[in-house]
Amino acid sequence: MDPLSIIASTITVVEAISSTYRAIQYLKGLPKAFNEANQSLPLMEATLDAAHSQLKRVTLDDASAKAIEPIITGCKEKANALLAIFQKIDNGRKDGKDGLVLEFYRRTVIPLGKAHRVEVLMKDILEGLKKLAMNQLFKTATQSQVAGLEKAIQALSEVEPSVPDSDFEGSELLNVTQNVSEGATGNQAINRGGNQENVFGNQFQSQGGAMSFGTDFFKKTS
């Protein structure tokens, strides 16, 4: 997808986020970070609009396209992630679960990680837009947004976390691969931290005394 289309698509996502927020803004227990993220939406849309208008007036060479495409693609991906969270909460509201909004949000975000908290997603989007605004290609069209972007980024950095860092402790997913030959068996031991003792088969412990084993013990059994 070309940069113009990516920006236009992202603007559509921003509008959807704004619309969804209006449906959930009065839910009891909705973290303050949602409101802070919502307050950044007009600035986000204005910056994207300015960049889109500028792009339509210039001929974009390959080097410029390669420079800005990762930025706007990242903004779009994070905007989609933000919209998905808002929509999940809205669906919970429609199902009559609005009283459990905070718990519902926690269960959505914690498996995904800290980077999916609404304030972090929005902050990352704005930081990407700031890079875009400072790009020479857009500098004239978007320079008025830079100060606003910096202020919004600071506000999002200071807002109370929508989910505390402590809630993510121990929630990391473990990716473990074990290869066992066909027809064979294997043991797997996973440690999340701390001391661990694994015993596969027989275990012998001596409390300081001598230990002896007859030779029959070690004979292979069928």
Q: Does 214 score more than 70 pLDDT?
A: no
CA distance 114 to 166: 10
Ramachandran class of 168: left when φ > 0, alpha when ψ lies in -120 to 50, beta otherwise: alpha
Q: In the chain, helix, strand, coil percent, each to 5?
A: 65, 0, 35
Token pair of 163 as six digits: 């989910």
Average pLDDT of span 91-117: 85
Residue 71: helix, strand or coil by DSSP? helix
Q: Which of 92, 96, 115 is nearest to 105 (CA)?
A: 92
Q: How sure is the predictor about 113, in pLDDT bands with cuts at 50, 70 and 90?
A: very high
The CA-based angle 76-77-78, given to 5 degrees, is 95
Q: For 10-26, what is each residue's pLDDT tens digit?
A: 999 999 999 999 999 99
pTM of the model: 0.74
**pLDDT at residue number 11:** 97
| C-alpha to C-alpha distance for 48 and 14, rounded to whole angstroms | 10
Q: Which of 155, 163, 172, 38 is nearest to 101 (CA)?
A: 163
Residues 6+ apart with CB under 8 A from 67: 135
